[in-house]
Structure 1
């Protein structure tokens, strides 16, 4: 029979799903290490990490994915929010965001020319060849994570993949605006109010 601790671990593993954390922060050195350390301390593997400038000047956006349970992702998000340079952090499930990836596949040109199946697979996944020479061709695929993985697996089975690289997830929420806009507007309003009270 299973012990109570084993039952608990099994239940937690069943509750795990892929969460996306979107973090907005000011662009200061060292913050990335602080954010990833939160995951390391809880022994959570980061599946993908994408950092870029946001739509707001001076604010950067971190998009992080990880497999975990709801209780843990809530705690992780709260810990990240407490970091001094973090403006906001929120977690989302896949049905709350629109997400995308880009991937590049370097494949052998001789195999591409000799095996019609290679071209068929590329067309099947709506990928496109963006560069080709006598030695290799580069295939570009934009889309969902599963499609990118499946295309790689099918090309690999045709023994033509030389290199493969993917961007990691980029995501936007399905709401009409980013929550950080509200946060910054509220912070600006409070700042003006405090200045007015000082006069």
Structure 2
């Protein structure tokens, strides 16, 4: 089986220690988590973990099964990149004089559809939202001018098909 990118969505109660146990599942299998985001979900009082890994479908299937055994986990799913719509965000801190002295910087901002978030005397901050490779390309374009700071978010994603989690939760609540 060949490796590919998978996005794992985990819906859970918001309990202390769950992130540690979930990351331990990946650690035991020597699978690196490429991206991790935890946020509020579309369901009240339910958190959503979005985890990106590069592995085989067999391994991701086994991992999702292990994650679902955690007591606080309501349901976990995995999807390929083709089955999801996803984005990342990044911030670039650059020396202010470059914005005015280097015409190429203005071209990079425009070509990458990025935004200037703030301008101060010593620096300015650019925001870029897009796919990982788009952020990587912008990073490589800005690198020769000097990047003072750089940070990127974890992937956020939604599936192209309807997620069945709301129906599952309603069914679960009716049986209680």
Which bin holds the TM-score, normalised by the shorter protein?
over 0.9
Deviations 1:111-160 (A, max 9, x none): 22111111101110100111112210000111111111110111002x23
CA distance in 1, matches of 2:52, 2:63: 12
1:6 aligned residue:
none
TM-score normalised by the chain length of structure 1: 0.85
2:94 pairs with 1:107:
yes
Structure 1 position 189, deviation (Å): 2.8
Gaps of 5+ in 1: 1-11, 192-199
Aligned residue pair count: 176
Name the counterpart of 1:186: 171
Q: TM-score scaled by structure 2? A: 0.96
Q: Which of 6, 18, 21 is matched with 1:31 structurally?
A: 18
Asked if the contact 1:111/1:160 (under 8 Å) is kept, the reply is no
* In 1: Cα distance, 2:92 partner to 2:98 partner: 14
**Residues 4-153 of structure 1 mapped to structure 2, 5 A cutoff:** 15-153=2-140
- Structure with max Cα Rg: 1
CA-based RMSD: 1.1
- Alpha-carbon distance in structure 1 between the residues aligned to 2:164 and 2:149: 38
Whole-Å Cα distance in 2 between the matches of residues 52 and 64 of structure 1? Answer: 12
Structure 2 unpaired stretches of 5+: none
Structure having the larger proportion of residues in helix: 1
Segments ≥4 residues shifted beyond 4 Å: none
